[in-house]
Amino acid sequence: MAEDSEQLNRLYLPDAHHLNTMIWGMAGSGKSVFIDHTLKQFLKQNKDKHLRVVIVAPKNEDYEWGNISHSLEQLSLSISMNRVSVLYPSMANIEGIVDDAINMVFEYQAKNKKSSFIFILDDSQVFLSSRKDGSDSHKRLALTGRSRKIKGIYVAHNITFNRSLEGQIDLLVGFSSVNPIYYRASIERFGYDPEPFAADLMEKPYSFVWFDTRNKEPVLQEPLAL
């Protein structure tokens, strides 16, 4: 399902219409493999030379196929030259670095009106907490990114990660999780109950549930044909 053009666009296209995407599941459940495969497929079909992808990867791994930056200065140069830029941030002041990366994207888009962005926050639980409010930069991405054709892709271990940002997500892609403590919050915040799919997801590695909050119909998907 997620390999056809319509679904790939629904996942990634910054079309100024759809909200942001949430990809969640425990470590090793298939999130990185899913992004690697589907994003490459999306970029093959999308020929927009003004489209840019920025991936923030706190683990400093999994995205070697992009142009890798280790500082904001390198990232700025990479965005101007490359379609896919990966930031491997230092864990020291990681929240501030991610904030600055978000603001950098907005500044680039303001100067290059034809540009659009896919901004992927891998392991977002590292710098976003459900216990405190999101920073002004994260609110900027979640609340105003759509109007600027900047689409946020949040990747995390748990389906609920920050209440102030979750209201701006309208697509959930869920992999297996061993932590049912978040199921009730998922129902309350998204209208999605992960429990009926938990056993199937555990039994079939890399399978996932596609849930669009606009139609409220979760669909269990087979693993991608890699």
pLDDT tens readout for residues 102-144: 999 999 999 999 999 999 999 998 888 766 788 999 999 999 9
Token reading at 24: 């969640």
pLDDT tens readout for residues 11-45: 999 999 999 999 999 998 999 999 999 999 999 99
Q: Are 72 and 89 in contact (CB under 8 A)?
A: no
Distance, CA of 55 to chain centre: 9
Q: From CA 154, how far away is CA 166, in angstroms rounded?
A: 10
pTM of the model: 0.94
Domains belonging to the chain, first-starting first, are: 5-221 (3.40.50.300)
